[in-house]
Structure 1
Amino acid sequence: MTLTEIGCCGAYCATCKEWKERTCKGCKMGYDTGERDLSRAKCKIKVCCIGKGFVSCADCPDIQKCQVINDFHSKKSYKYGKYKQAIEFIKQNGYDEFMKIADTWTNAYGKYK
């Protein structure tokens, strides 16, 4: 697992079928090499996160006040709350601990020990 497999929003991309088959670049692949142009990205979360040089929104000191990520995490679906939980876990425990746990998941989110 690499940090590239952690979505800016807290999703764990490595479990996704499209990611595994390399038909999806996730929200990060290609921006570091110039293969993709961040100014053309439509996802406000991605533009902000990558533009500021963060691995995920967990790195942002202003996350509590961020309307974009908070609106996203507040959507009416179970997965959005789990993505928020991932960001909170990363903030508290770091990426290494997150990756140890997330590497056992079969979905873009999972349970914490």
Structure 2
Amino acid sequence: MEANKELIAACGLYCGACRKYLSDKCLGCHENVKATWCKIRSCVEGRGYHTCAECSKNVNECKIYSNFIGKIFAFLFKSDCPACIRYIRDHGEHAFAEEMTKRKCQTIKRK
């Protein structure tokens, strides 16, 4: 599996390590035009960004990013998407894609 920054979802998840994506059952965040239900994706696309990391808002204070569904997802999968966004801001998208590819993970895990 090769790292690809284009496979970083708007919220900071890495589609390149997702079982559904890898088994061709999902197109990934940016290519999935049916994902109109995702408000984060809609916001990012509407602003012309690739991920929330490009926005000046703190993701923990953003009402679109820190929503109820996201909190449930984070709890169930022990995911720390804000940590993914911070990693992207600090190191860049390519470094994040490489790190997630190396870890074989979609997200940075909560401790």
TM-score normalised by structure 2 residue count: 0.76
Residue aligning to 2:41: 46
Residue aligning to 2:92: 94
For the Cα contact (< 8 Å) 1:11–1:83, is it kept in 2? yes
Sequence identity percentage? 25
Of 1, 11, 14 in structure 1, the residue corresponding to residue 13 of structure 2 is 11
Using the alignment, how far apart are the partners of 2:5 and 2:69 within structure 1?
Answer: 20
Using the alignment, how far apart are the partners of 2:81 and 2:69 within structure 1?
Answer: 7
- Is 1:70 the counterpart of 2:66? The answer is yes
Instruction: Report the RMSD for the aligned CA atoms in angstroms.
Output: 2.6
CA shift, 1:78, in A, is: 6.1
Number of residue-to-residue matches in the alignment: 104
- Is 1:28 the counterpart of 2:30? The answer is yes
CA shift, 1:100, in A, is: 2.3
Stretches of structure 1 that go unaligned for 5 or more consecutive residues are 31-35
Residue aligning to 1:33: none
For the Cα contact (< 8 Å) 2:79–2:108, is it kept in 1? no
> Residue by residue, what CA displacement relative to the aligned partner does 1:53-104 show, whole Å, maximum 9, x if unpaired?
2111011112444211023697151646521111011111211221221111
Using the alignment, how far apart are the partners of 1:57 and 1:23 within structure 2?
Answer: 25
For the Cα contact (< 8 Å) 1:72–1:80, is it kept in 2? no
SS at 1:75 equivalent: helix
